[in-house]
Structure 1
Amino acid sequence: MSVHIASETAAVNRQPRRALRTVAVCTVLTLALAGCYKRSVLQQSEGHINTPAAAPSVADVPAPARTSNFVPAPKPAVKAPTYTVVVSEVPVKELLFALARDTKQNIDIHPGLQGLVSLNAINETLPGILDRISKQVNMRFKIDGQTVIVSPDTPYMKTYKVNYVNMTRETTSEIGVTGQIQGGSSSGGGAGGGAGGGSNKNASSTIVKTVSNNNFWDTLRDNVRAILTSTRNQNMTAEQRAERAEAVRAQREERLQQAEAVARAGQGAPQLFNSVFGAQTGAAAAPTANDILNDIVVNAVAGTVSVQATEKQHALIQQHIDSITQVAQRQVLIEATIAEVTLSDAYQGGIDWSRLASSGGLNLTQTLTTGVANAFSSGALTIGYTNSTSQIGNISTSIKLLQQFGNTRVLSSPKLMALNNQTALLKIVDNIVYFNIDATTTTAANVGTNTTFTTTALTIPIGMVMSMTPQVNDNGQ
């Protein structure tokens, strides 16, 4: 048994030696191969571990910030050139050509421009001189760059913009006070058994009625028509007086010649004259109201007013429109607070009769009329006061008002915007509902009595209704 074990042990020891020999041979071969291989060197990037240092920047310190002026510095205005003109009864065309030559301006003059000018202008601008000339002759001018356009002041169409609502308001308020005293009745009887009765009444009433109409567009049309009518009559009287006189004289001569021509007709001369020449009218007739009405076109929807008028008339119309729109567009803000006070039982007001002592001089006297005095032991009630020791004004009565009136609560705090000179209505009420019952009774032969009730619901406002018409002047007051 021991030999066998030994032999197995020897066999086991021989196997590791072979394995070690094999490992050693493999190691030698690996080293030999490693000695023949050439290893490459890896290049590292510049910023692999350390970042490159930044180059120092060199810059100037910026200038301090300055706030810009919101309003630029004022610059002296260029003074307009002025001229001196002294003329006496010079034709307007010659004067305008001389002005254009001296002022080095181009000028266009309408061939129909006529009139004489007398002017003494010292150190005035060209527009000022032209404006003064236009007040002496029928002329209007327009400066377009270096060109002055002059023409007769004939009517032309111009449209004005009027910003106002298309609305017409009519306000009517009525306040009345009525008093009535019921008089006694009288009756009488006669032998025939007739009787009559009557009553005397003493009644009085006062009614205050206020009517306010606001029709802006119709009023504006009437105002513009009145301006055109008055200025046209004035212009015809001042500027066309000689022409109208000459036209009237020529018309009279023509009528005389016509009358002489038909005078040979004998008794039929008047009829012949009227039938032939009666329909003819003068050459210088004044403009009628229809002609002026056609020169005004008012469009309330678009808010425009177109007028056919001269330059002077347009200046008056523009001034009038600016004035009325400035006044009509003013508004008033009305703020109100409506409070309700429920009086408590502690509130007292009146005469404190307890302050009148028996020796204060108060006495009561009553006298009844005949027929009624028999039913009473004393007369009708009268009140008098006598006190010889009292000073003037020292009357033994007092009125006591308590500070505690009751519960107060605010019902409404309305704000109302009203236009100038237009009535605004402020209403704070509580509508109380009540019913009116009407009973109708009918009687039928076979049905009997039938009663029909008709109920109508009615309301009555309890509160305050106030109308206000504000008026604001140019100072806002």
Structure 2
Amino acid sequence: MKRLLSVLALSAGVTLSGCSSLDSMNDTAVTDESIAVLEQAINEQTKDAEVAGDTVPQLLPPPIVPPLDIQTLGQASEERFDVIADGLSAHDFFMGLVQGTDYNMIVHRDIEGAVNLKLKNVTVEEVMQAMRKVYGYEYRREGKLYQVVPAKLQTEMFQLNYLDIQREGVSDTQVSAGSVRDSVSDSGSSSSDSSSDSSSSGSSSTLVGTRISTKTSANFWVNLKQTLDALISGDGRRVVVTPQTGMIIVRALPSELATVREYLERAELTLHRQVVIEAKILEITLSDKFQAGVNWATLGEPSAGKTITLNQVASSISADGLGGIFRSAFSLNDFTAVIELLGQQGDVQVLSSPRVSTVNNQKAVIKVGTDEFFVTAVETTTTTGTSTTTTPSVELTPFFSGIALDVTPQISGKGEIVLHIHPTVSEVEDQQKQINVGSDDFSIPLAFSSIRESDSIVRADSGQVIVIGGLMKSENSDQNESTPLLGDIPGVGNLFKQRRSVGSKTELVILLRPVLANNDSWQKELERSLQSFERLRADSVK
């Protein structure tokens, strides 16, 4: 197992390095060594899985008696019978239940009530469980002995493994056109009573814009305490939660303790669900034929039952409008094939290949870029005295340039994944703004930000590829050409020069593939990493 974990760390490290260039991995020796380690890990994991099914039975001595069918043995050991009770006292019912069987019964003297039931083909244990659920009679079992006790308050300790942390996350996407504010103030004073009054009025208006603010808050232990208090509220009940040790102490009735136990078991299963999210952030410089954007309809059509999630120009494309080649790329979950198909419509550049693992309902953030400080406010303070002193005060604010991706998954018990996805690609430059105030001119350095981002919630199955596109950008550049020597002649040189404006369009495409993290998925990830190294070695040999 230690060997497997080390190899998984190696595989994850190699994948995480996808944010940088692969030119540094041309060393054939390193590639061959990585392939050997991955092959050994896959073989060891396969052998470990086969030991329980094949090797262990061979190492054991031959059985003395023929093997017994477990289902038949269980039916033979647990006698089944019909039970009918009509107004029978609880004490007499329990004592008569084990009559003629191998079980023993002790009934507390405080057990009261009448029993009415009709059951067919049941065992003693099934009858006792039914009595607990319907009538609330609590019992304990020790081998062949049943003890029926009154339903009194009891104390039980539960263990729940979870981090003692509080997390808050905000994803903000805003499109604003600015705001306008008018302000008028009047002031007056009276010397007769040394009083002054002032009044001001103003109005503000915000131009039409759009804003999506997604907030997440995780304070698990506080929410758990509130939930348990609601489940077992009543006299004498109490819940004590110690997040540092993961211990939960509950004092309640046996039926309420059973409810708490079931709730905690299900909650722990939900909390520990984990997903691995692999992403490719691509920038496509569109060719002349596709200046309107990537034409997804020319890439293929998936077969019936396949789902492709697209978020392009605020609309989704039906799976019936795509052809066969596109289907194979997505059904195989192969990013390389998708990139090759997109390359038919322009030059594809992989900006980043982030990969992150996160548990259920927890935000994961990947950020690759730089933070640079820009001037956002300038104030001056003038002090007069024997000499006038002006002190400037500058406020600096960091602006991020690069790629950021935050993802929040919700994983159902059936393996369906709902993702909140917020990718951002930003570029920030410094620019000078000239502002005229009265007779004064001010030159203020400001940040010029170019942002491409989206905010969406999608549903996907494990291993399904999600596509987010339509984030386009136009760029214009001037190209100057001239005839050598003749273009440098003063006066007539312009006759031998040519100036033209060249425009280009780029589209940002984001591919995501969520995979549920379990034993099978780690095995598949090892195999995928091995295939990647083998392709890398084959390319280096060419």
Greater percentage in strand: 2
Q: Which TM-score applies when normalising by structure 1?
A: 0.50
Q: Which TM-score applies when normalising by structure 2?
A: 0.44
